[in-house]
Amino acid sequence: MKSLCLLGFAAFSTVAHAQEKPDIILFLADDVSWNDLGCYGNKEVMTPNIDRLASNGIRFTNFFLTASSCSPSRNSIITGRYPHNTGAAELHTEPPLEMVSFTEILKQQGYYTAQAGKFHMGKYALRGFDLTNQDARLNGDGGEELWIKTLQDRPKEKPFMMWYASYDAHRPWGTNEFSGTHNPANVTPPFYLADAKGTKSDLAKYYDEIARFDHNIGLVMDELRKQKVLENTIIVVMADNGRPFPHSKTRVNDRGMKTPFIIYWPKGIGEKERVCQSLVSSIDIAPTLLALASAKIPESVQGVSFKSLLDNPGKSFRNFVFAEHNWHDYEAHERMVRTKDFLYILNSRPQFANSGPADALGSPSFQDLLNLNKDGEISPVQADVFLVPRPKEELYQNTSDPDQLKNLISVPEYQKNLKELRRILTKWMDETGDNIPQNLTKDWYMKDAGTRKTTEFGHRGEMPGEKRHATQNNNKGKF
C-alpha cells in the first residue's frame, strides 16, 4: 500500500511539474521594422495591443536579427544558428533534414506545438510541430485566421508552444478591415524616403497591415484570459526583418537588422514596464525559450540563453552581434559585426547597388526615389540605393551617428577600431565555416521594377558555407 501511495505521489508530481512549465507564444511579424511600433516611438502607427504588452513587460532596444531576409531569418530564429550554418543562407532555400528546431525539442519534452500563419522554413521544421497550417487560403490574407482556433483546439493537459507568424506586413498590401486606418496625409516618411504622395500612401497601407497584426494579437490575449492561462504564458513579439522599403529590408545596418522584441510573462517577470538595452541576437531566442521550459539545449545551437536578462534587464550580455546578407532576388554577400558603439560592414560584392528586394523596387516608394533622382532633387542619403560601386567596407559610430550615415572607414582616429572589428569579423567567418564563393547566385530580377530575368531566373550558385560544411559546424563564434 505504501508503494502504491508513493507511486501515486510520483505521478501527481510529474503532472504538477508539467503544468508548471510555461506556455509560449511567439508572434512573428513579416517585414516590420523595429521603429514602426508605437512603443518604439512611432507616433503615427496604431499598435495599442503591442504597446500594452510592452508597458507590462520587457522591451528590448538592441535586439538584432542575423539576416534581413525572410526565410534565412526565420530558419536562424527557430534553429538558433547563423544563416550560413543552417545551409539555407539564401531566400527560398531549405536547410537539410538533419537540422533541428527548438520547437522539435519542446515537442519531445511534452509540449503541444502548433504553427499558424506563414511558415517559410522547410521540411525539417515540420517535425517540430504537432499541427501546421501552411495553406495561405486557410490562414487568411494576414495569416492570423487560425490563431484563436489552434488555442481553442489544443490538448489542455499539455503545455503549449505556438508559432504565430503573420503575412503582415509583407507586400503586396491586401484589402482588409483595417484598410484606410491610417491617413496618408498624416504620414511622415523617414528622411531616406521621398516626402511624396506615392510614398505616403505606401507607408499608410503598410501601417494598416501592422494594425491588423496588432489587432489579432489582442484577440489572442483575450482568448488566453478566457482560458485562464495568460498568467504563465510567455508572449514574444518580434519581426523577421526590416520594412519592405528601399533602405531597409536586405540591409545589414540597423534599418535592416534591428528588430522590435518584447517579452510579456506575468508569472515569470511580473507586470511592469522595463527596458533592456543589452545587445542580443536572434540566435539567442532558441536557447532562451528552451531554458525557460527546462529543456536541454543541444550542441547545434550557436546562440546563448539570455534568461538572466529577464531577472535583470540592466545586465550586460553580448559584446558582439553578427549578421549576413546573401542572395535575396539579387546577387549579394555582405557580413556585419556590431558592438554597442560601432558597426562594421564587409561587402564582397561592392560592384552592385543595394536598392532593396524586388517587391520594394516595384513599389511607389521606389518610384518616388527614381523621380527625385531623375530630376536631380535627391539627397545623398536617399541616393544611397543607387550608389555603384558601393564601399567595400563601412564603419559607423553608433552613439554619435545612430542613423549610421557617416562612413568613418578612412578617418585616421578610428583606424584602431576598424582593425579590431575587421579581425573579429574575419575570425567569426572562419570559426563558423563561412566563406565567399566566387559563383554566387546571380540576379533573378531587373533592378528597375523587379521584373524577372529570363536567363537567370531559377538558377542557383554556390551557397555560402557549403564548401566548408558549415551545417556541421556548431562553433558559436565571438560572444
Q: What is the pLDDT of residues 68-83, one digit of tens each?
A: 999 999 999 999 999 9
Q: Which residues span the domain enclosing 110? A: 22-319
- Domain shared by 238 and 375, yes or no: no
Residue 193: name the closest of 244, 146, 241 by CA. Answer: 244
**The pLDDT value given to residue 251:** 98
Q: Does residue 6 have a pLDDT over 60?
A: no
Q: Are residues 305 and 330 in the same domain?
A: no
In a domain, 304, yes or no: yes
Confidence of residue 65 (pLDDT cuts 50, 70, 90): very high
Distances from the Cα of 308 to the Cα of 122, 315, 426, angstroms: 32, 8, 29
191 part of a folded domain = yes
Q: What is the pLDDT of residue 257?
A: 98
Out of 135-149, 298-312, 459-473, pick the least confident. 135-149
Lowest mean pLDDT segment, chosen from 12-21, 223-232, 280-289: 12-21
CATH number of the domain within which 140 lies: 3.40.720.10
Q: Are residues 220 and 105 in the same domain?
A: yes
Domain membership flag for residue 72: yes
Q: What is the mean pLDDT of residues 424-446?
A: 97
- The answer to whether residues 219 and 166 belong to one domain is yes
The C-alpha atoms of residue 33 and residue 280 are separated, in whole angstroms, by 16
Domain annotation covers residue 236 = yes
Judgement on whether residues 392 and 433 belong to the same structural domain of the protein: yes
Supply the pTM of this predicted model. 0.95
Last residue of a domain, one of 270, 296, 319: 319
Asked if residue 241 and residue 183 are part of one domain, the reply reads yes
Q: Is residue 175 part of a domain?
A: yes
Residues 327, 315: one domain? no
Q: What is the pLDDT of residue 129?
A: 98
Domain boundary among 286, 302, 319: 319
- Report residue 70: phi and psi, to 5°: -50, -75
pLDDT at 18 over 50: no
Q: Are residues 425 and 346 in the same domain?
A: yes
pLDDT class for 20, splitting at 50, 70, 90? confident
Please give the share of the chain, as a percent, with pLDDT higher than 90: 91
Domain count, the chain: 2
Residue 314 burial class via C-beta count within 10 angstroms: exposed 0-12, middle 13-18, buried 19 and up: exposed
Distances (CA, A) of 117 to 136, 215, 439: 7, 15, 35
Place of cell 566563406: 435
Q: Are residues 233 and 277 in the same domain?
A: yes
Q: Is the pLDDT of residue 431 over 80?
A: yes
Which pLDDT belongs to residue 448? 77
Asked if residue 10 is part of any domain, the answer here is: no
Identify whether 46 is part of a domain. yes
Query: Which tens digit of pLDDT belongs to each residue from 270-295?
Result: 999 999 999 999 999 999 999 999 99
- Banded pLDDT at 16 (limits 50, 70, 90): very low
* Residue reference for cell 508539467: 18
pLDDT at 137: 82
Q: Which of 39, 43, 46 is nearest to 273 (CA)?
A: 39
Is the domain of 311 the same as that of 330? no
Q: What's the rounded Cα separation, in Å, for the pair 314 and 278?
A: 7
Nearest to residue 360, comparing CAs of 144, 178, 206, 142?
206
Q: Judge if 118 and 173 occupy the same domain.
A: yes
At residue 175 the predicted structure's pLDDT band, cuts being 50, 70 and 90, is confident
State how far the Cα of 125 lies from the Cα of 46, in Å rounded to an integer: 33
Distance of alpha carbon 460 from the chain centroid: 24
Among residues 300, 319, 338, the one where a domain terminates is 319
Cβ neighbours of residue 410 under 8 Å, at least 6 residues apart? Answer: none
- Same structural domain for residues 211 and 189? yes
17 in a domain, yes or no? no
Rounded Cα gap, residues 151 and 162, in angstroms = 8
